[in-house]
Amino acid sequence: MSEETTKADTIPPPPMPSGEAKFTQAVSSMMSIASTTTTTPGGDTTAATNTKPPKRERMITLVSKDEAKFLISKTAAEWSEFVRDAINDIDSDDDDDDDDTATATTVSTTMKEVHCLNVMGPCLEKVVEFLLHHHQTERFRTIILPLRELTFDENMKQTLYRDFINQMDIDMVYQVLAAANYMNIRPLLELTCLRVTFELSDKSAEEIQELLDLPTNLTPEEQAKEYESYAWIFDESNHERAAKEEEGKQQTDLYARLNASSD
Q: pLDDT at position 198, please? A: 87
Radius of gyration of the chain (CA): 31
Beta strand pairing call for 59-64 and 45-47: unpaired
Whole-angstrom distance, CA of residue 23 vs CA of residue 173? 61
pLDDT at 54: 54
Q: What is the pLDDT along the chain (263 residues), one digit of tens a residue?
A: 555 555 545 555 555 555 545 444 544 444 443 333 333 344 444 443 444 555 677 899 999 999 999 999 999 999 999 999 999 887 776 555 555 443 332 233 446 899 999 999 999 999 999 999 999 999 999 988 888 888 999 999 999 999 999 999 999 999 999 999 999 999 999 999 999 988 887 777 777 777 766 666 777 787 777 666 655 555 544 544 455 455 566 667 777 777 776 66
Backbone phi and psi for residue 231, each to the nearest 5 degrees, phi listed first: -60, -30
